[in-house]
Amino acid sequence: MIITFIIVLLAVFGLIYLARLTRGRTTANHSSADLRAGLRPLDLQAFRNLTDPAEDEYLRSALSRANYRRARRDRLRATLAYVSCAADNAAVLIRLGDAARLSPDPAVTEAAEKLVNSAIRLRLFAFQAAFRLHLGIVLPVVPNPANHLAERYELVTRQGLLLGRMQYPGRGGSVTV
């Protein structure tokens, strides 16, 4: 009975921790401009290159086994940095979307809701990919899990830009990632 209680308690704390991790930090003391300043640039072309299975296959055929493993680990570490940046930016976009949900304009509220939902999914996928990237660094035979993360990131970025244009129509969009 006690073991069951402990397991349930750990599961509840784990879910609370995961929810807080997914949602990012609170927006209590941050203005919209402060949040936008927290966005970090991410080179999508380089990110796509690192996660391209064809590029990985080319390296496998062009390099010796030892050099390929070394290069793959280096590429996975670089991919991990991009995934971390995408997850951090998704957290900022979640907070921006949360703030925009309070808008009296129903179109802005709907766009904010879509942004928040997409950014949460991106953040969860990024955490899963980061775990698998760490595993791939240890065991180089694990396939690169971040193949589609760049596309998901680009979708969330477009949603953030759309929301920025809706909120600030005279500026042509206020969210740049």
The encoded tokens of residue 74 equal 């280096």
Where does the pLDDT of residue 87 fall: very low under 50, low under 70, confident under 90, or very high at 90 and above? very high
| Residue 118: predicted pLDDT | 93
pLDDT tens, position by position, 32-83? 666 666 788 899 999 999 988 889 899 999 999 999 999 999 999 999 999 9
Domain ranges of the chain: 2-171
**Alpha-carbon distance values, 59 to 54, 66, 77 (Å):** 9, 12, 16
Q: Are 92 and 33 in contact (CB under 8 A)?
A: no
pLDDT for res 119: 94
Residues in the chain: 177
Per-residue model confidence (pLDDT) at position 5? 72
153 within 8 A of 86, measured Cβ to Cβ: yes
Could you read off the pLDDT of 106-152 as tens digits, one per residue?
888 999 999 999 999 999 999 999 988 998 888 877 777 777 888 89
Per residue in 5-34, pLDDT (tens digit) is 788 777 777 777 666 665 555 444 455 666
Q: Where are the alpha helices (DSSP H) in 24-148?
A: 32-37, 44-51, 53-62, 65-100, 106-138
Higher pLDDT, 91 or 146: 91
Alpha-carbon gap, residue 53 to 72, rounded angstroms: 11
